[in-house]
């Protein structure tokens, strides 16, 4: 079973989407290579009041895509060297997105192997592996854009989903403590 998630999948509450993305497959065709990664770690950035979100200080040229239609990629550069891959969620004009932070490679490429699995633990490593940069930004998560998400029938038990505060957002005060990071063990 390989079903490409329709764009309407992303026009739902952001926290639910974040949880539902665990066990789904991020598939990319870039530079004549095909990669597939089972998503194991995500973070939600939900709404204009989320102080950890780029949208918290209002609409700018950079974060405008977060206010746009659901199912588009939001890619940006951090610390001058790492691209972060997010998928825009929720209705138009409501700024929200899910950051894809980690996964297990099932097709393509070569990387560090741990316990027989190729682990991408960290959002910068994931985009490096998939050769994603901001040229993907603002495109839709569908086949013709080169990157999309599939349901391949993997079931994740609700009891296997772990939560924690988000990484690297200590500045966000009370929002930094919210359990908006979801992950499953490798």
Partner DNA sequence: AGATTGATCCAT
Partner DNA sequence: TGGATCAATCTG
Nearer residue to DNA within complex by CB, 4 or 137: 137
Q: How far is the CB of 1 from DNA (least distance, A)?
A: 29
Contact between 77 and DNA per CB under 7 A: yes
Contact between 104 and DNA per CB under 7 A: no
Contact between 75 and DNA per CB under 7 A: no
Contact between 174 and DNA per CB under 7 A: no
User: Binding DNA by CB under 7 A: which of 3, 13, 34, 78?
Assistant: 78
Find the Cα–Cα–Cα–Cα dihedral 110, 111, 114, 120, rounded to 10°.
Answer: -120
Give the CA distances from residue 72 to residues 10, 38, 64, 135, in Å, rounded to whole numbers and listed in that order: 9, 19, 12, 13
User: Binding DNA by CB under 7 A: which of 12, 167, 184, 186?
Assistant: 167
Nearer residue to DNA within complex by CB, 133 or 152: 133
Contact present, 129 and 135 (Cβ < 8 Å) = no
Neighbours of 75 (CB within 10 A): 19
Contact between 168 and DNA per CB under 7 A: yes
Which residue's structure tokens are 């989407």? 17
């Amino acid at each position: 079973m390989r079903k490409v998630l329709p764009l309407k999948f992303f026009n739902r509450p952001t926290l639910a989407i974040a949880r539902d993305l665990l066990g789904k497959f991020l598939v990319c065709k870039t530079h004549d290579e095909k990669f597939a990664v089972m998503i194991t770690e995500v973070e939600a950035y939900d709404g204009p009041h989320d102080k950890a979100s780029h949208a918290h200080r209002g609409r700018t040229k950079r974060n405008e895509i977060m206010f746009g239609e659901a199912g588009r990629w939001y890619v940006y550069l951090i610390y001058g060297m790492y691209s972060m891959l997010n998928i825009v969620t929720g209705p138009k004009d409501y700024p929200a997105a899910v950051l894809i932070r980690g996964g297990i490679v099932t097709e393509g490429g070569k990387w560090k192997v741990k316990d027989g699995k190729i682990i991408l633990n960290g959002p910068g490593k994931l985009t490096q592996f998939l050769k994603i940069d901001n040229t993907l930004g603002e495109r839709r998560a569908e086949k013709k854009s080169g990157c999309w998400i599939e349901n391949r029938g993997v079931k994740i038990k609700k009891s296997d989903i772990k939560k924690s505060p988000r990484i690297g957002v200590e500045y966000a005060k009370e929002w930094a403590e919210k359990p908006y990071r979801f992950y499953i063990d490798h």
